[in-house]
Amino acid sequence: MIYFDNAATTMHKPEPVIHAVAQAMNSLGNAGRGAHEASLDASRNIYGVRERIADFFHGEDPSRIAFTANSTESLNTAIKGILNPGDHVVTTVLEHNSVLRPLYEMEEKGVEVTILPCDEYGMVYPEQFAAAVRPNTKAFICTHGSNLTGNVLDIKKTGKAARDRGILFVVDASQTAGVFDIDVQKMNIDILCFTGHKGLLGPQGTGGIYVREGISVRPLKSGGSGVKTFEKKHPAQMPVALEAGTLNGHGLAGLGAAVNYLNQQGLSAIRKKEQDLMEQFYLGIRDIPGVKIYGDFRTRNRCAIVTLNIGDYDSGEVGDALYADYGIATRTGAHCAPLMHQSLGTAEQGAVRFSFSHFNTEEEIQKGIEAVRELAE
């Protein structure tokens, strides 16, 4: 199988990640739930990963990182934890349903939601956020990179626009963490939501949320904390405030090993390899008759995603043919990004998304080009 579905999850993980998970499953107890060696080992391991993640995103302190199961949990925590009835929030059509659906829920509770449109390239710009500000605007919430088109937004300028106006800035880094450099302090990010199983190359079931010092987020859930057992309310201090229940210590061990791997390889090298493969694929298919490509390819500063359609063929049929006849795995359909598909005019047809990893090869890319060419004939 040629795996071109890395925007869904990176299937090829570094060997140290697999080893770390296996080792953890044979040794770790429940962090914070005992004074014996197995429990203490789990606590030390998780704290070490917390330190590495805080350093990776340039957070001011490891305690500002709380671990979750994925970006969806992180985004639900952020959105439902900072917004109140009467607040106004600005977001975009690029968003995944993990942003949109929680916002729709909050809208039913009295939160005002402005959804910024994109241009013909599928881009949204910082100036649009600034122009949408109202007296009651509480937050800007946006993706760093579109999971459908691969377009990357200028979050540094958007973050400055938010900070200058005293507005919270929440970023969904699902498609960019582990590939693009993210500095929460320089980019004025107040809350960063990330998953571990995509560009961070960790196991599924891992993710997290960074919350800037001084910002209070209502917990999405409460319960076991390992501390302050006799208090009726869940502890308010970070990170335990957002970490009710047993953490995925085994998965987090893998995530820690993945961050080590990324630091050793260097994000710039990984990003260049992925963008080289993306460019090779894009240049190989862009002039094929009947092939329509979506997204902004005026720049290489984008996620390694190429999304397309072939004529009027249903995207699902194209995806089935790619896998059945060529052994190429892609993602078809609506990609949990309904507003983006509506903006691109692909709500009915869907689209075929090719997304690349630095573990892919030029030979695989060439086979993908040839497959698209044959299907378009």
Using the predicted structure, report yes or no on whether residue 279 has a pLDDT greater than 80: yes
Using the predicted structure, report yes or no on whether residue 30 has a pLDDT greater than 80: no
Confidence category of residue 261, pLDDT binned at 50, 70, 90: very high
Summarize the confidence of residues 25-43 as an average pLDDT.
80
CA distance 275 to 304: 5
Task: Give the up-direction half-sphere exposure of residue 86: CA atoms within 13 A in the CB hemisphere.
Answer: 1
More confident residue, 225 or 137: 137
Q: What is the mean pLDDT of the chain?
A: 96
- Can you give the residue ranges of every domain in the chain? 15-265, 266-376
In the CATH scheme, what is the code of domain 15-265? Answer: 3.40.640.10
pLDDT at 225: 73
Percent of the chain whose predicted confidence (pLDDT) is above 90: 89
Using the predicted structure, report yes or no on whether residue 227 has a pLDDT greater than 80: no
- The topology under which CATH files domain 266-376 is Aspartate Aminotransferase, domain 1 (3.90.1150)
More confident residue, 39 or 146: 146
Question: pLDDT per residue over 319-358, tens digit each?
Answer: 999 999 999 999 999 999 999 999 999 999 999 999 999 9
Q: Yes or no: say if 10 and 270 are a contact pair by the CB < 8 Å rule.
A: no
Position 173, amino acid: A
Weakest-pLDDT range from 157-171, 186-200, 216-230, 300-314: 216-230
- Give the SS3 label for residue 250: helix
